Amino acid sequence: MLICIDSNLFILGTTGADADAETLMDILPELSVVVPRLVVVQTVRNLAPIGMDKQFFATIHQSTRFHIVDAPTPPELIEKYVALGLPAKADALIGAFAEWMEARYLVSDNRHFLSLTTEAFEVLRPGEFLQRWRTGML
């Protein structure tokens, strides 16, 4: 099962600002995760000023099943997610990326993703994802 994780959860998990996001970071090596380069760039941009970017990289490098994709997401998929109401700059790209990579879940607490209706993947808050993971319901 492949999942995509939004940058805000990497930031919250690395800084310890959210318990569920922090737990998600702890179990990262057990998950198959794919993210676009944009997610890493956004995460590092927010963590570098507080000196936590190296901790983020150390965490993702512990996982052999964490993949950063540099290939461009198909523009027609990005347009699809803009039409579904996601902001064009980042959220539409992440939604399109999740579909393109055939992720089963997009884990995020971003209000734009949480209101998204798509059959391509399921959007779960970190706590919902963790509950399913713990109970084997993924």
Average pLDDT, the chain: 97
pLDDT per position as a tens digit, 69-107: 999 999 999 999 999 999 998 999 999 999 999 999 999
Alpha-carbon 98 to chain mean position: 9
CB 11 within 8 A of CB 46: yes
Which one-letter amino acid corresponds to residue 23? T
End-to-end CA distance of the chain: 8
The residues near 10 (Cβ < 8 Å, ≥ 6 apart) are 21, 25, 39, 43, 56
pLDDT per position as a tens digit, 5-20: 999 999 999 999 999 9
CB 59 within 8 A of CB 92: no
CA angle in degrees (0–180, nearest 5) for 95-75-80: 50
pTM, full prediction: 0.95
The predicted structure's pLDDT at residue 89: 85
Domains annotated for the chain, with CATH where assigned, are: 2-135 (3.40.50.1010)
Report phi then psi at 88, rounded to 5: -65, -40
How far CA 79 is from CA of 16, 33, 45, 66, 84, in Å, comes to 34, 24, 26, 26, 9
Name the 3-class secondary structure at 105: strand
